[in-house]
Amino acid sequence: MKKITAIAIILGICITSNGFSQTCGTTNIGLNKPVTVSSETQYHEGYNAVDNNSATSWYGPLADSAYLYVDLQQAYTVCQIVISWTSNGRAANYKIQTSTNTTSWTDIYTMTGNTATTNTLTVNGTGRYIRIWMTSHVNTWASYEIVDIAMYNSLAGNIKPKVSLTAPANNTTFYEGANITLTTTASDTDGTVSKVEFFQGATKIGEDATSPYGITWSNVPAGTYSLTAKATDNNNADSTTPAITIVVNPSNRWTITGNSGINPVTNFLGTLDNKSLRFRTNNLQRMYIDSATGFVGIGTSAAPNSEAKLAVNGPIYATKLRVTQTGWSD
């Protein structure tokens, strides 16, 4: 059977049957959850309908009556369901139902005369189990075939979790190959924090489902990175921290514990621009090298005259000091 697929796109707001607007979540709560079906075929099992993969699908029977239900593993108030069918495998008539026990079912949506390959349905119902009960085909000669089902829960009345990225600090620098620890504080006033995810740009680098929430980002390559953390609560509401920037410098650097194999032509202490160089201990300047004249000052940055190349502010103690003057008249 040739597949013509359409993948569901998430909406932000939906209207419930009672006429009041509610906020609909953006996390697919049915993704990779357990699935029970009336029948299935090899390589087209029920779980293929909830894997968010356009290359897989569930094949139902040729008979008109068929079902598929998803165990959300906890009760949710569902506000939207998106079903993607193949062109040949569409159901013309079906119902969406909820249940708390898989024994008694409550209708929350009835579809009649469907011709679309993607059904984006606004619903309002609460249950742990969500069932699609199919009763007739668009094409009577073809099996039912669902490419994907996405389910979204209501966030009405739910307070988003709070999350702060506590480490590393903004503009911290590291060196290539570092193991960087990311930590957060996260809380939820009307529920629990389910997880905290950590991102470098749009790329997820890890998550933690237990407090205190943190990960170690290992062997980080050189570069400049934008880091955020996202906390998700038990109702799938989420909050994301403001981004911080860290810089990971290349590892080809001198160390304070000694170096070997250096090339004095390319390896040196100093500057590459016209900035003067200052040496400090205890955050107090001890020596100064002027970038324009090459003047060296110890305990001072002021040259006594334009000819001076060295000045010392303080006593000089020497044993067997010899000063030889050549080619320099008084």
Q: Which residue has the higher pLDDT, 10 or 139?
A: 139
Segment 153-171 shows an average pLDDT of 91
pLDDT of residue 8: 35
> Per-residue pLDDT for 11 more than 70?
no
Q: Which residue has the higher pLDDT, 74 or 257?
A: 74
Class of the CATH-defined domain 162-249: mainly beta
% pLDDT > 90, the chain: 73
Segment 98-113 shows an average pLDDT of 97
> 255 with 182: CB under 8 angstroms?
no
Sequence ranges of the chain with CATH classification 2.60.120.260: 13-153
> 86 with 3: CB under 8 angstroms?
yes
Segment 138-164 shows an average pLDDT of 92
Q: Which residue has the higher pLDDT, 273 or 218?
A: 218
Segment 47-57 shows an average pLDDT of 96
Minimal CA–CA distance to 137: which of 82, 90, 67? 90
The separation between the first and the last C-alpha atoms of the chain, rounded to the nearest angstrom, is: 103
Q: Which residue has the higher pLDDT, 256 or 79?
A: 79
Q: What residues pair up with 58 in beta bridges, in sequence order? A: 146
Segment 22-37 shows an average pLDDT of 89
As given in the structure block, the two tokens for residue 263 are 């090339």
- Taking the C-alpha atoms of residue 256 and residue 271, their distance in angstroms, rounded to an integer, is 18
* pLDDT band (50, 70, 90) for residue 100: very high
Segment 307-327 shows an average pLDDT of 86
* pLDDT band (50, 70, 90) for residue 20: very low
pLDDT of residue 324: 78
> Per-residue pLDDT for 113 more than 70?
yes
CA 56 to chain centre: 26
Segment among 30-34, 89-93, 252-256 with least mean pLDDT: 252-256
pLDDT of residue 261: 74
> Per-residue pLDDT for 18 more than 90?
no
- Taking the C-alpha atoms of residue 211 and residue 214, their distance in angstroms, rounded to an integer, is 8
Segment among 37-46, 92-101, 121-130, 311-320 with least mean pLDDT: 311-320
pTM of the model: 0.55
Condensed to tens digits (0 to 9), the pLDDT of residues 178-232 reads 999 999 999 999 899 999 999 999 999 999 999 999 999 999 999 999 999 999 9
Residue spans of alpha helices (H) in 30-81: none
Condensed to tens digits (0 to 9), the pLDDT of residues 219-241 reads 999 999 999 999 999 888 889 99
Separate counts of helices (H) and strands (E) for the chain: 0, 22
pLDDT of residue 187: 95
- Taking the C-alpha atoms of residue 96 and residue 124, their distance in angstroms, rounded to an integer, is 10
Minimal CA–CA distance to 26: which of 154, 193, 126, 164? 154
pLDDT averaged over the chain? 88
Sequence ranges of the chain with CATH classification 2.60.40.10: 162-249
Q: Tell which CATH architecture fits domain 13-153.
A: Sandwich (2.60)
Minimal CA–CA distance to 195: which of 183, 215, 180, 210? 210
Q: Which residues contact 39 (CB under 8 A, 6 or more apart)?
A: 60, 61, 66
pLDDT of residue 10: 32
